[in-house]
């Protein structure tokens, strides 16, 4: 038996207000599990295989590019020696040519040299993978034009009517592929497999334009 209905209404009202203030009860969300993930052995093997393929394609191209650069340097050295020989013959050798790198590198009375310092030693110390050397031309018609003591730079060898210049790779196929040679005629010949003989063979037809 309900003795006082007003008291029951007050109690119900109080409970509703309390529930409203507290808000709905929310169950805690389950923790999200993060799974650590690394590379599998197969994935690593695939990466290594890709790197191997790229290296196999790139390394030969780099070697070819390096050889091309070395050959260009060798050709430049031969041309520089040719120009130096022309200047030597006109001003120092009485029309004859120097017979070694060292003689062509000796200074004239005015202090100028006929080739650069790096070419002065390029017959014994490789320059960009090539040995570039001046030698006495072995042609039978070669002759002495001016005695060594009379040359303007006191050369060790007499000035001669002919000369021979060769440029050969230190390691064919690695530092360079082609050999080059020239003489007093100033045409630069090349051979992709062998050194060019001294004197330059008359039948050699591979030359630079």
H/E/C letters for each residue in 48-70?
HHHHHHHHHHHHHHHHHHHHHHH
pLDDT (tens digit, 9 = 90+) per residue, 108-123? 999 999 999 999 999 9
What pLDDT digit, counting tens, does each position of 43-84 carry? 888 888 888 888 777 778 888 999 999 999 999 999 999 999
The verdict on residue 103 lying in a domain is yes
Residue pair 73/81 in contact by the 8 Å Cβ criterion: no
Residue 120 lies in a domain: yes
Instruction: Tell whether 63 is covered by a domain.
Output: yes
User: Tens digits of per-residue pLDDT, 13-53?
Assistant: 554 455 455 555 555 555 555 555 678 888 888 888 888 88
- H or E element that contains 179: strand 179-183
144-198 pLDDT per residue, tens: 999 999 999 999 999 999 999 999 999 999 999 999 999 999 999 999 999 999 9
201 domain-assigned:
no
Q: Is residue 17 part of a domain?
A: no
Q: What is the pLDDT of residue 2?
A: 46
**Residue 61 lies in domain:** 52-191
Domain tally, the chain? 1
pLDDT of res. 25: 56
**Do 132 and 166 contact (CB within 8 A), yes or no?**
yes
> Domain for residue 122, yes or no?
yes
């Amino acid at each position: 038996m309900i003795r006082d209905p007003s008291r029951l209404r007050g109690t119900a009202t109080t409970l509703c207000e309390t529930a409203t203030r507290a808000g709905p009860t929310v169950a805690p969300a389950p923790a999200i599990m993060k799974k650590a993930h690394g590379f599998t052995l197969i994935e690593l093997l695939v990466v290594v295989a890709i790197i191997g393929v790229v290296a196999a394609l790139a390394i030969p191209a780099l070697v070819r590019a390096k050889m091309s650069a070395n050959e260009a340097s060798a050709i430049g050295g031969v041309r520089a020696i040719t120009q130096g020989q022309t200047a030597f013959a006109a001003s120092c050798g009485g029309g004859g040519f120097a017979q070694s790198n060292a003689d062509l590198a000796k200074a004239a009375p005015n202090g100028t040299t006929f080739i650069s310092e790096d070419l002065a030693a390029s017959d014994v110390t490789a320059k960009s993978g090539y040995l570039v050397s001046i030698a006495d031309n072995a042609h039978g018609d070669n002759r002495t034009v001016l005695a060594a003591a009379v040359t303007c730079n006191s050369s060790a060898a007499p000035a001669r009517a002919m000369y021979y210049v060769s440029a050969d790779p230190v390691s064919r196929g690695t530092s360079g592929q082609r050999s080059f040679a020239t003489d007093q005629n100033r045409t630069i010949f090349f051979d992709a497999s062998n050194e060019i003989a001294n004197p330059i063979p008359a039948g050699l037809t591979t030359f630079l334009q």
